[in-house]
Amino acid sequence: DAKTTQPTSMDCAEGRAANLPCNHSTISGNEYVYWYRQIHSQGPQYIIHGLKNNETNEMASLIITEDRKSSTLILPHATLRDTAVYYCIVRRLIRGNKLVFGAGTILRVKS
């Protein structure tokens, strides 16, 4: 699975949009981009995933560049409860489940 690069940490003001970037320049055509987040000492929470089109759900939006080498997770109105580690994962949907987690981005939402 392709490797991802994320900033170590980011700050965001409460109520503003949080834009978390992820670089995956070696992504293959059949690899999906997944986002999870982990609030301190809890299990990771699935947020969203996509292949090449932009995706939106009740939690966030995922914007994937046309060349698919990078993506951005957008939390439209960040709250203090969105403070967490955000993981960008690239994976093929092949037989067998395995997620390879990097270090992720620590997002701090401040009032």
Distance CA 70, CA 18 (A): 16
Which residues in the 37-66 window bind another protein by CB under 8 A?
Answer: 41-46, 49
Q: 32 to each of 49, 51, 54, 81, how far by Cα in Å?
A: 7, 5, 12, 27
Which stretch, 4-12, 53-61, 70-78, 100-108, contacts another protein (CB under 8 A)?
100-108
Given candidates 8, 29, 81, 97, which one binds another protein under the rule CB under 8 A? 97
Verify binding: residue 29, another protein, rule CB under 8 A.
Answer: no
Q: Are 7 and 22 in contact, with CB atoms under 8 Å apart?
A: no
The nearer residue to another protein, 17 or 103, going by C-beta atoms, is 103
